Structure 1
Amino acid sequence: MEETTIPFLTFYFTDYTTYYIPEDPVIDPNTYNAVKILNILIYSITFILGVIGNGVVIWIAGFKMTKTVSNIWFLNLAIADFVFDVFFPLQITEWIMDGHWPFGQAMCKVIFTALFLNMSVSTTFLMVISIDRCTSVMCPVWSKNHKTLKMASTVSIVIWSACFILSSPYLAFFDIIHDSNSNISYCIPIYSDSDGVDEGQYKAMLITRLVIMFIIPFSIILICYSLIVIRLRRRTHSKFSRPFKVIVTIVSSFFCLWFPFHLWPFLEYMNVEISATMDFVMSHIVYAIGFFNSCVNPMVYAFIGRDFKKSLVKSIPFLLESTFQEKIESAEPSSQNMVETEEMTTIN
């Protein structure tokens, strides 16, 4: 069977000439078509679920409820995921057109920079939510006295600004290349002005992305929820199955969806010998899995902490409102039981 060259690698941080060598085709067409169909399917599902789920969260947390600190975290998380999801039709179009990018150079730079911006913002707010929950359980009185809307708004602005600064190099790296043979344009990351890859730039971006978007957030999320588990076990002297399941789901989903996304490029960085076909298949699958996190967040953070059977007979607005609504206590906790009740509510 005749093999074919893959003329583009969406989101793949390497030299495009690795696969784009007309006289030396390396990818079997059946493999390419299978990956193409799978990515279109995953991107379509992510787009539909993400836009609907995050759109509902934005509507409820942003317009239907009184502003609280928790609402601000969830609203920013939903906005980041929503903006990320609305760009998927362009990615789907690119796959359908076999890599051709018809939207121009400006859109190439802006859209892919926005994608990485919102990925980093989403990951950072997942970390902030875990810190907020941890402080609410470990130091409930302090948390009530120091968590303010102004503080939450300031933190949100700082997060968006910092993530934009970290994502801004993609404005320079993503660019259009033209295939003179087929007269087709491709939008890809190019880490050098020459035909090769600037190894220093490539490795710097790879390490920065790994540290900022995975190692630091996952470590903090794991530490925060571990402290919560320890505290609740001491307080309740029971297994508290529902909060524990929520915590396991949150930590597991973050790790399982993002770890492959960050691991696979590092295999190349460590010069692990991998066939071109396997590299092509896995590089696209791990990205699709990582992107799927944007539609999982509303389900994990808004729905799993409530009784599923009861939620089936309630409207989505009521469900989300009950999830985001923070209890407003008129007086400080006056007993140990009140603190324990608040801790369990925070996790659920």
Structure 2
Amino acid sequence: MSIICYSVTFILGIVGNGLVIWISGFKMKKTVNTIWFFNLGFTDFCFCLFLPLHITEWANNGIWPFGPVMCKLVYTTLFLNMSVSISFLTIISVDRCVSIQCPVWSKNHRNCKLATSISVIIWFLCLVLSSPYLAFYNIEKHQDENISYCSDDYAAWINITTSDEWTFDLRNKAMFITRFVSMFLIPFFIVLVCYGLIAFHVRKSSRLSGSRRTFRIIIIIVLCFFSCWFLFHLMPFLNFMKIGMNEDLRFFMHHFADCLAYFNSCLNPMVYVFTGRSFKKVLRKSIPFLLENTFREREDI
């Protein structure tokens, strides 16, 4: 299931996010929206680039064949891209809400320079939040020295004894709480509030056209965000609360949660970008033009 899910996510994510990067970065005039979409597409594209390593890992029954350095790098990069992606989804929600609720302020202060500064701050903060994974992810070798697994090692730098179990448990809880609050609780609350305010404003203002379409997009955005990330954060929460579960069910739910979370990286282009009329207009014009040039070159040859 994981191999199929990762493969589908990789193909759709590379194509979809590649188009987002191409259109927002090279085909459209630089605006606040294109800056958001470019960063969102770029981080999701980078996220998808590492999926073949996970496909190889699970094709080898979970055995990690790429060594300790790649173990640290890959999982740190994955958590970095996940946190950056969620942060930009949240920023897009806030930006849309402010543009509708405070149009005058938005017109005077909303500019590319501010958007670029916010983007740099997001990348820096997410890098800081993801840096502990560089220390805690490591190779775990089993009885056969030729078999190793890449997993989180909260026992790093300490010799686990009875007296050190408290340190191990504290690190585990600290990483879970930080991830849950920063990557789900706060972003989901902000997204919910922002799109709730947008929906209320659209419903109240009969002058706004396309209200049904707006409501439909809002519902899709909130449902996709919740569906993709809820289970991913619920599973560690169940472990945190020490809630018992059948081992086979826990194994299945853990990998199903990862599949949903990873799949979010190829949903973003469809939900957040391709629903925009300007992006679809450029997409319709650009792809036929590219194909036409490609075919012409082949005919000349």
Sort the TM-score into its range (normalised by shorter chain): 0.7 to 0.9
Match of 1:275 in 2: 246
Structure 2 match to 1:180: 143
For the residue of structure 2 that corresponds to 1:67, the secondary structure is coil
2:83 is matched with which residue: 117, 120, 139? Answer: 120
CA distance in structure 2 between the aligned counterparts of 1:51 and 1:141, rounded to whole angstroms:
38
Shift of 1:180: 3.1
Corresponding residue for 1:81? 44
Provide the residue aligned with 1:301 in structure 2. Answer: 272
Question: Partners of 1:139 and 1:58 in 2: how far apart?
Answer: 29
Corresponding position of 1:221: 191
For the residues of structure 1 that align with 2:243 and 2:47, how far apart are their CA atoms? 31
Residues 286 and 177 of structure 1: is their aligned pair in 2 closer, same or farther, counting only changes over 3 Å? same
Counterpart for residue 97 of structure 1: 60
- Relative to the length of structure 2, the TM-score reads 0.88
**Aligned AA for 1:58?**
I
| Aligned twin of 1:231 | 201
TM-score of the superposition, structure 1-length normalised? Answer: 0.76
Question: What are the residue-to-residue correspondences of 1:1-348 with 2, within 5 Å?
Answer: 38-181=1-144, 183-193=146-156, 194=159, 198-236=168-206, 240-306=211-277, 316=283, 318=285
What corresponds to 2:298 in structure 1? none
Distance 1:107 1:257 in 2: 26
1:318/1:288 Cα in 2 relative to 1: closer, same or farther (>3 Å)? same
Q: Partner of 2:63: helix, strand, or coil?
A: coil
Deviates further, 159-168 or 183-192: 183-192
Paired residues of 2:23 and 2:283 also in contact (CA < 8 A): no
How large is the RMSD of aligned CA atoms in angstroms? 2.0
| TM-aligned CA deviation for residue 102 of structure 1 | 1.5
- Structure 2 regions of 5+ residues with no counterpart? 288-301
Distance 1:315 1:75 in 2: 15
Measured against aligned partners, the alpha-carbon deviations of 1:39-66 in whole angstroms (never above 9, x if no partner) come to 0000000000001000110011111221
Q: Distance between the aligned counterparts of 1:57 and 1:172, measured in 2?
A: 33
| 1:209-241 Cα shifts (integer Å, max 9, x gaps) | 010000111111111111111111121178921
Q: What one-letter code is carried by the residue in structure 1 that aligns with 2:91?
A: V
Distance in structure 2 (CA, Å) of the matches to 1:229 and 1:172: 43
Question: In the alignment, is the contact (CA less than 8 A) between 1:243 and 1:305 conserved in 2?
Answer: no
Preserved CA contact (<8 Å) 1:177 1:185: yes
Q: In structure 1, what is the Cα distance between the partners aligned to 2:53 and 2:144?
A: 24
What is the alpha-carbon distance in structure 2 between the residues aligned to residue 319 and residue 228 of structure 1?
31
Kindly state the Cα deviation for residue 268 of structure 1 after the two structures are TM-superposed.
Answer: 1.2
Residue deviations 1:142-188, cap 9 Å, x none? 11110111111110000000000000000011001222326212111
What are the Cα deviations for residues 101-122 of structure 1, in whole angstroms up to 9, with x where unaligned? Answer: 1211111101110000000000
Q: Which amino acid letter does the alignment assign opposite residue 91 of structure 1?
A: H
For structure 1, the residue ranges without an aligned partner over 5 or more in a row are 1-37, 321-348
Q: Structure 1 residues 133-142 or 236-245, which shifts more? A: 236-245
CA positional deviation for 1:315: 7.1
Q: CA deviation at 1:298?
A: 0.2
Using the alignment, how far apart are the partners of 2:62 and 2:138 within structure 1? Answer: 14
The structure with the greater share of residues assigned to helix is 2
Distance change in 2, residues 1:150/1:158 (3 Å): same
Amino acid in the other structure paired with 1:104: G
Q: How far, CA to CA, are the matches of 1:141 and 1:319 in structure 2?
A: 33
